[in-house]
């Protein structure tokens, strides 16, 4: 198992806006961590062996009442996402034996539409934060196999929370972008009049 962290790639202000603009247009952001709600609890659980050694800025791991293990590799700032939000994350997922089953950069995921353990972890994070999490089968896919993930698997993730927005904010961005596209190049429109305002950049926390 690799203990290396997933770096948070630097994202320019304009690039972040473009990323959110794309998400706003699509709005179908559930990915490979999508949750169907049919898994049943199984007996396996996470342990300290799946977590990183504390020290050098990495905090000791904690365990929630549900059995989720999480560890702050880098603290973020500001508010935390809720079930109503869409997050933008980097993540790498491995099995207990270290086999990597998924990894993505700058990926949008709806908090309410991922497996319960991943959702619980996202709601603890803050912008700019980086976590190691261990999800027991009861909070993951349970007795179901999910693509390269065998049934009853413990899932280990390194997650960076880049940003998050509410579904309402994304819908507003989508509407503004549609208005901009509809208003561009309209013949006879006076300069600076009747044109929609630019989409605001994400606020820095």
Average pLDDT, the chain: 80
In a domain, 162, yes or no: yes
Only one residue has tokens 């912008």, namely 127
Predicted local confidence at residue 128, as pLDDT: 96
| Of the candidates 152, 123, 148, 147, the residue with the CA atom closest to the CA atom of residue 135 | 152
CA atoms of 6 and 135, how far apart (whole Å): 18
Give 1's pLDDT tier (boundaries 50, 70, 90). very low
Say how many domains are in the chain: 1
Tokens of 75: 């603290």
Alpha helix segments (H runs only) across the chain: 13-26, 116-122, 167-183
Alpha helix segments (H runs only) across 86-166: 116-122
Predicted local confidence at residue 42, as pLDDT: 72
In a domain, 198, yes or no: no
In a domain, 196, yes or no: no
Please check the confidence at residue 4 and state whether its pLDDT lies above 60. no
Nearest-Å Rg of the Cα atoms of the chain is 19
What does pTM read for this prediction? Answer: 0.74
Range of the domain at 71: 13-170
Please check the confidence at residue 57 and state whether its pLDDT lies above 80. yes
Tell me the per-residue pLDDT of 123-150, one tens digit each, with 9 for 90 and over.
999 999 999 999 999 999 999 898 899 9
In a domain, 181, yes or no: no
Average pLDDT over residues 22-33: 58
In a domain, 110, yes or no: yes
The CATH number of whichever domain residue 32 belongs to comes to 3.10.50.40
Tell me the per-residue pLDDT of 106-126, one tens digit each, with 9 for 90 and over.
999 999 999 999 999 999 999
């Amino acid at each position: 198992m690799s203990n290396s962290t997933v770096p948070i790639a630097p994202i320019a202000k304009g690039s972040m806006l473009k990323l959110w603009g794309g998400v706003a247009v699509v709005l179908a952001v559930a990915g490979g961590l999508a949750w169907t709600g049919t898994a049943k609890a199984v007996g396996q659980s996470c342990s300290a062996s799946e977590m990183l050694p504390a020290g050098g800025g990495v905090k000791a791991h904690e365990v929630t009442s549900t059995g989720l293990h999480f560890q702050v590799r880098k603290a973020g700032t500001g508010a935390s996402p809720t079930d109503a939000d869409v997050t933008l994350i980097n993540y790498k997922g491995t099995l207990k034996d270290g086999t990597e089953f998924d990894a993505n950069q700058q990926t949008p995921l709806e908090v309410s539409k991922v497996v319960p353990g991943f959702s619980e972890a996202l709601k603890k994070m803050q912008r700019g934060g980086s976590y190691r999490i261990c999800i027991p089968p009861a909070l993951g896919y349970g007795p179901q196999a999910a693509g390269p993930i065998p049934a009853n698997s413990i899932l280990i993730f390194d997650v960076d929370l880049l940003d998050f927005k509410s579904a309402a904010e994304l819908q507003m961005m989508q509407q503004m972008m549609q208005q901009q596209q509809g208003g561009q190049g309209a013949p006879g429109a006076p300069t600076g009049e009747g044109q929609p305002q630019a989409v605001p950049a994400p606020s820095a926390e």
